């Protein structure tokens, strides 16, 4: 049986580093802090960040389940990257 662990990552634009978030631990502490520069995610944004992380972990867990439970669905996992772009962007 295959198991995949989805680890959410946050990019901190104060210092430019990305870091994995221990979701359960962060949820318990109700806090996410950049381990490089110690900047914290604003409290008013925490709930949204937590619910998005939980949702994506659920989706990824389901994708693995449907791949391994005999249904044999193709396996995909949601991943995101954030890139800074200048506005207005040119599409070419």
Chain CA centroid to CA 24, Å: 13
14 binds Zn ion (CB under 5 A): yes
With CB under 5 A as the rule, give the number of residues binding Zn ion.
Answer: 7
Among 5-13, 24-32, 55-63, 83-91, the segment contacting Zn ion (CB under 5 A): 5-13
Least distance from Zn ion to the Cβ atom of residue 84, Å: 14
Inter-CA distances, 14 with 4, 38, 54, 68, 76, Å = 31, 10, 25, 41, 32
CB nearer Zn ion, residue 12 or residue 53: 12
Q: How many C-beta atoms lie closer than 10 Å to residue 61's C-beta? A: 15
Helix (H) or strand (E) holding 10: strand 9-11
64 binds Zn ion (CB under 5 A): no
Least distance from Zn ion to the Cβ atom of residue 34, Å: 3
Residues that bind Zn ion (CB under 5 A): 12, 14-15, 34, 36-37, 39
């Amino acid at each position: 049986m295959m198991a995949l662990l989805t680890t959410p990552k946050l990019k901190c634009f104060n210092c430019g580093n990305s870091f994995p978030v221990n979701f359960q631990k962060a949820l318990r502490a109700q806090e996410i802090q950049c381990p490089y520069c110690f900047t914290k995610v604003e409290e008013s944004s925490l709930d949204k960040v937590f619910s998005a992380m939980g949702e994506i972990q659920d989706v990824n867990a389901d994708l693995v389940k449907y791949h391994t439970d005999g249904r044999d669905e193709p396996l995909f996992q949601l991943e995101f990257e954030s890139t800074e772009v200048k506005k207005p962007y040119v599409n070419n």
